[in-house]
Each structure stands twice: as structure tokens, then as C-alpha cells.
């Protein structure tokens, strides 16, 4: 459908930060095929109820037509959809990304995966003072608050110490459902 026919919803509750919007534009330019499986959702009046940022990114990318799905919702269902379509329940398992996906950190960053950057500068921190051989984590940046409100700390685990660090992390984790990142963060902050 021609983008000029679509109307933005006046009560759209979503915002997007400039750098994330730039990533969305880049994503639309580089992988436009995804729009076919994730079309802009509109109501019968062609008011957007899902995909506002993709719509804006398409315009910025120079698209004149975009895939559209017309939903037959009541006004209350539209509002519910606008919220539920944008709620992110899942989180990335950084252990899986690091160990099972053969991509560079830059690739994940361009895809919009936040918090997956291991940097290069280093301040050494001891992970476990009780061990005969102290383990070190190279902390590469001061904590930062991300756009989503989470604390982001970048660190490098030396390859030769990975097994020992995971042993310490698993001991500290016990039966809790905390992620490896949470455990390491707690160990670092406790220092």
C-alpha cells in the first residue's frame, strides 16, 4: 500500500531513541524482506496500530509502498494490540549468542542486540578471593543505563579462565534462576 495513505495513530504510546531509529532505518534498507512477514498493521481507516517505527523508517529509507495488514479490531482491542504488540517478554541468552552463533559483536550490535559488547580496554578485577588462583575479569567500561533502563557493564573473560569462571559462577548461582551476567555483575559489584 502507498505510505501516503497510512495515518499515524494519535495515541501511539511508543517512542524510539534516535540511535535505535537509525538502526531501524538501516535494518529496513538492508533487510526489506522482513517487512513481508512483519507488515504494518492498520485498522479499517488505515490508521497504524502496529509498526509505527517501521513505517517511519520505511519513509526515511525512501519506500513509497509497504506491506500492510488490515486488522478488524474494536477500539478497545486496538489499544490492547498497540501495547501487547510492543511488550518484550523474552531476553537474549548471551551464553548461547556467544558460544553457538558464529557472528561478530558488531553484527549483533547492528541487529539491535544491546548489552553484547566486550570492548578492549581493561581494568582488572578479582572475581574470587578465596580461590588459590584468583580469576580476573577485565572490566571495560563504567556501568551505563541503557535506553530500556537496564544497567550495562562491558567486560572480557579471558579464554583460558573461562572454565574456572563458569565454575565459580555456577557455585554462586546454586539453584537460582539468575543469568551468568547477573552473577558476574553481583560478584564485581560486591568488590
Bridge partners, 70 (sequence order): 42
Nearest to 187 by CA among 132, 139, 126: 126
The total domain count for the chain is 2
What predicted TM-score, i.e. pTM, was given to this entire model?
Answer: 0.56
Print pLDDT tens along the chain (191 aa): 999 999 999 888 887 778 888 888 988 999 989 999 999 999 999 999 999 999 999 999 999 999 999 999 999 999 889 888 877 656 666 666 666 776 666 666 667 665 554 433 333 344 444 444 444 544 444 455 555 555 566 666 677 777 777 787 778 777 777 777 777 767 766 54
Classify residue 89: in a domain, yes or no: no
- Cell 533487510, residue located: 31
Q: Does 106 fall in a domain?
A: yes
Domain extent, residue 73, equals 3-84
How many C-beta atoms lie closer than 10 Å to residue 58's C-beta? 24
pLDDT score, position 117: 46
Rounded Cα distance between 105 and 43, Å, is: 39
Give yes or no for a contact between 162 and 102, defined as CB atoms under 8 angstroms apart.
no
Q: Which residue is it, cell 535494518?
A: 27
Which CATH number covers residue 20?
A: 3.90.1530
User: Are 106 and 136 contained in the same domain?
Assistant: yes
Amino acid at each position: 500500500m502507498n505510505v501516503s495513505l497510512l495515518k499515524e495513530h494519535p495515541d501511539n504510546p511508543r517512542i524510539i531513541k534516535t540511535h535505535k531509529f537509525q538502526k531501524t532505518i538501516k535494518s529496513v534498507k538492508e533487510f526489506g524482506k522482513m517487512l513481508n512477514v512483519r507488515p504494518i498493521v492498520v485498522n479499517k481507516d488505515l490508521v497504524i496500530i502496529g509498526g509505527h517505527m517501521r513505517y517511519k523508517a520505511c519513509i526515511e529509507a525512501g519506500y513509497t509502498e509497504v506491506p500492510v495488514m488490515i486488522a478488524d479490531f474494536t477500539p478497545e482491542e486496538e489499544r490492547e494490540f498497540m501495547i501487547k504488540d510492543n511488550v518484550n517478554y523474552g531476553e537474549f541468552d548471551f551464553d548461547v549468542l556467544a558460544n553457538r552463533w558464529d557472528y561478530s559483536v558488531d553484527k549483533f550490535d547492528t541487529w539491535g542486540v544491546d548489552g553484547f559488547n566486550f570492548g578492549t580496554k581493561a581494568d582488572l578485577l578479582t572475581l574470587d578471593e578465596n580461590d588459590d588462583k584468583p580469576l580476573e575479569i577485565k572490566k571495560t567500561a563504567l556501568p551505563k543505563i541503557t535506553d530500556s533502563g537496564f544497567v550495562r557493564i562491558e567486560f572480557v573473560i579471558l579464554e583460558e579462565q573461562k572454565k574456572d569462571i563458569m565454575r565459580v559462577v555456577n557455585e554462586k548461582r546454586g539453584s537460582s534462576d539468575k543469568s551468568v551476567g547477573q552473577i558476574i555483575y553481583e560478584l564485581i559489584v560486591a568488590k
